[in-house]
Structure 1
Amino acid sequence: MTELILALIAGGAVGLSLGALGGGGSVLAVPALIYLLHMAPSEATTASLLIVAATSVTGLLAHARAGNVRWKAGAAFAVAGLPLAVVVGALSHRLPQTLLTVAFVLLAAAAAWRMLRTGAPDRGAGHTVRPGRAALAGAGLGGVTGLLGVGGGFLAVPALVTALGFAMPQAVATSLLVIAANALAALAARLPSSSGLDWALVGPFLGAAVLGAWDGKRIAAKVPAHRLQRAFAALLLTVAFFMLADALW
C-alpha cells in the first residue's frame, strides 16, 4: 500500500512538471522508480520512457487545444536531433561519466542563466521560424542529448526560447512534441530486449502522471510567461546541482 501511494504521488509530480514546464519527466521519474519503488535501473528506465511518452502525448494534446504547439518547427527540431543523438550516444561510452555530468551541469547552468537574464520573449504564434534553423537547433540538442544521456524538455525548452525565440508557453507546449518523439524512439529500441514491467506500480504511476499533465497545463495557462520561465530556470539549476553533487560525492 505504501508503494502504491508513493507511485501515485511521484506520478502526479512527473505529470505536473511535464504539463506545466515541458520538462522534468525522466529526471524525476527514474529516481522515483529506483529509490522510492525499488525497481532495478534497467526496469526503471524502460518504465520511465513509457510513462514520459504517454504523459507527453497527453500534455501535448492539452496544449494543442490552446493553440500553443508549433507543429512544423517542433517536428523539424525533433526529427533533426534523433540521428545525431544515436551517433553521438555511441561515442559517449568512451568518456568518463563524471566528465559528462560536469559538462551537463555547465550547459544547464548556462541555459538557466541566459533564461533568467533575457526574460520571456514577447512573441506570439505568428512569429515565423525557418525550418532550417529549427532543424539546426534540434540537431545540436540531439548531439548534446546523445553525449550526455539527458535532454528532453530540460534542454529543449531553453533551446526553443533562446535559439528560436519562442514565447515560454509555446516552448513548453512544443517541447512536449520533442519529448514524445525522443521517448517513443528510445522505447521502441528498448522494448524487444526488456523484461516485463511491474504494472501494479507502473500503472498507477502512469495514471497519476497523465492526470497531472492536464493539471500542469492549467497551471501553465494561469502563470505569466516570465514567472514560468524563471521557475523553469530555477528547476534546471536545482537538477544540475544535485547531479553534480551525486557525481562528485
Structure 2
Amino acid sequence: MISALGFGLVIGVLLGLLGGGGSILAVPALVYGAGLTLAAAVPTSLLVVGLSSATALLPRLRAGLVRWRIAGIIGGTGAVAAFAGAAVNRLLDPRLVLLGFAALMVVAGIRMLRARDEPGGACALPGGGVDWRGCLPRSVAAGLAVGFLTGLFGVGGGFLVTPALVLSLGLSMPAAVATSLVVIVLNATAGFVAHAGDAALDYRVTGTFALAAVAGSLTAGRIAGRLPTTHLQRAFAWLVFAVAAFVVITNI
C-alpha cells in the first residue's frame, strides 16, 4: 500500500506539471511496485490517469485554456481507437506487451528531450488559429494513434499529444497542456470501459493509487506555471529511460 501511495503521488504530480508523461510510469509502477498482474494494471492505470488528469484540468478550465474543438477531434477519434487497442492487448502475451511498453517509453523519453515550447508548424495560421482544411486529417490520425496506444498499453498519451499540439497545431504550451488533459480524460475513459471485466480490480490498491494521484495532480496543477517545464521534462525523460531498461531486463 505504501508503494501504491508513493507511485500514485509521483504520477499525479507529473500529470499536473506536464499535462502528460506521468501515465507512462503507471503500468510499470502497478506491476512491479504494487504487484498487480498486467491484466489488472492496465484498467487500474486508465482509471487513475483519467481521474488525476480531470483533477489537473480543473484550474485550467477556470483559466479558459482548453481548445475544445481540437480536444473533441483528437479525443473523439482516440476514444474509438482505444477499443481496438484493448482488443489487440487481449491477443498478446503479457511479456510481449511489457516489452512493447518499454519501447514506447523510449519513444516518449526522446520526445520529451526534444520538446520545444515555441508554437508553430504547418497547421498554425499567422493570426494564431488552425488551418483545419489542411490539418484535420493529421489531427484525426494523431487521435487514432494515441487512442490505440491508450487501449493497448493503458497510457494517457499526453507525451505524444502535447508536443503535437504545440509543434503542429501552433498552440501555446499552457493551451496545449490543458487541451492534452481533456484528450487524456476521454481516451482513458474509453480505454477503461474497453478493459472492464478483463480482471478483478484490487480496490485497496486502486483507491490508494487514485487518491494519491488526484492529490498530486491537484497540487501540482496550481504551481505548474511557476516551474521550468523544460528542465522537468528532461529530468523525467531520463527517469523514463531507466524504467524502460528495468522492464526490458525483467522480461528477457
TM-score tier by shorter-chain length is 0.7 to 0.9
- 1:38 lines up with 2:66 in the alignment: no
Task: Indicate conservation of the 8 Å contact 1:108/1:237, yes or no.
Answer: no
1:172 maps to which of 171, 177, 180: 177
Task: Indicate conservation of the 8 Å contact 2:82/2:149, yes or no.
Answer: yes
**Counterpart in 1 of 2:207?**
203
**Counterpart in 1 of 2:58?**
61
Q: TM-score, normalised on structure 1?
A: 0.77
Task: Indicate conservation of the 8 Å contact 2:75/2:182, yes or no.
Answer: yes
Q: TM-score, normalised on structure 2?
A: 0.77
**Counterpart in 1 of 2:16?**
19
1:186 maps to which of 191, 196, 199: 191
Q: Which runs of 5 or more structure 2 residues have no equivalent in the other structure?
A: 121-126
**Counterpart in 2 of 1:157?**
162
Q: Separation in 2 of the partners of 1:139 and 1:149?
A: 15
**Counterpart in 1 of 2:26?**
29
Call closer, same or farther: CA 1:35–1:91 in 2, change over 3 Å.
closer
Call closer, same or farther: CA 1:63–1:91 in 2, change over 3 Å.
same
Aligned residue identity for 1:14: I
User: Shift in Å at residue 195 of structure 1?
Assistant: 1.6
- 1:220 lines up with 2:224 in the alignment: yes
Call closer, same or farther: CA 1:155–1:87 in 2, change over 3 Å.
same
Q: Separation in 1 of the partners of 2:66 and 2:112?
A: 22
Q: Which runs of 5 or more structure 1 residues have no equivalent in the other structure?
A: none
Task: Indicate conservation of the 8 Å contact 2:42/2:154, yes or no.
Answer: no
Q: Separation in 1 of the partners of 2:110 and 2:78?
A: 20
**Counterpart in 1 of 2:112?**
112
Deviations 1:16-46 (A, max 9, x none): 1111111234322223323333223322222
Q: Separation in 1 of the partners of 2:100 and 2:128?
A: 35
Q: Separation in 1 of the partners of 2:92 and 2:7?
A: 33
Task: Indicate conservation of the 8 Å contact 2:19/2:180, yes or no.
Answer: yes
Deviations 1:116-154 (A, max 9, x none): xxx31268xx83224525334323444565677756112
Task: Indicate conservation of the 8 Å contact 2:45/2:155, yes or no.
Answer: no
Deviations 1:64-87 (A, max 9, x none): 112222211111111123444544
Query: After alignment, is 134-143 or 155-164 more displaced?
Result: 134-143
Aligned residue identity for 2:220: G
**Counterpart in 2 of 1:75?**
72
User: Shift in Å at residue 177 of structure 1?
Assistant: 1.0
User: Shift in Å at residue 114 of structure 1?
Assistant: 3.3
- 1:247 lines up with 2:248 in the alignment: yes
Call closer, same or farther: CA 1:74–1:91 in 2, change over 3 Å.
same
Deviations 1:174-231 (A, max 9, x none): 11111111111011122234324233x32232122111111111221212xxx31342
Q: Separation in 1 of the partners of 2:170 and 2:140?
A: 14
CA RMSD of aligned residues (A): 3.2
Call closer, same or farther: CA 1:216–1:78 in 2, change over 3 Å.
same
Q: Separation in 1 of the partners of 2:99 and 2:26?
A: 23
